[in-house]
Amino acid sequence: MIKEDIPINLLPEIYQDIVRTVGLKGALALGQEFGGMSLYLPKIESALRSWRDENIRLEFTGANIPYLAKKYGLTGARVRQILGVPQDSRGKLA
């Protein structure tokens, strides 16, 4: 049985770090679910990349690449790559 009134300073340091982010109840739940496992979480930007790219495709009007680049913190060239705009014969993105 897990005590939710345990003093945080009695927990192992890794749990104290997690408590600061998700609270004691969340840290204890994570410990119960994943305790003893090695867990890797990708950076949130990486995890959300597919969602971002899909939104760029949905929001593309044919003439708003600079807007999309600014909105999503990308270069115009990267937005064109996401959209699949082919390069011209000089190797530049069309």
91 in any annotated domain: no
Is 30 among the domain residues? yes
In this structure, the answer to whether residues 23 and 10 fall within a common structural domain is yes
Nearest-10 Cα torsion for 15, 27, 24, 2: -90
pLDDT reported for residue 18: 93
pTM above 0.85, yes or no: no
Per-residue pLDDT of the chain (94 residues), as tens digits, is 567 778 889 989 989 999 999 999 999 999 999 999 998 988 898 889 999 999 999 999 998 999 999 999 999 999 999 999 865 544 555 5
**pLDDT at residue 88, as a whole number:** 55
Rounded Cα–Cα distance for residues 73 and 81 (Å): 14
Has residue 90 been placed in a domain?
A: no
Q: What is the pLDDT of residue 41?
A: 87
In sequence order, the 6+-apart residues with CB closer than 8 A to the CB of 3 are none
Boundaries of domain holding 5: 1-40
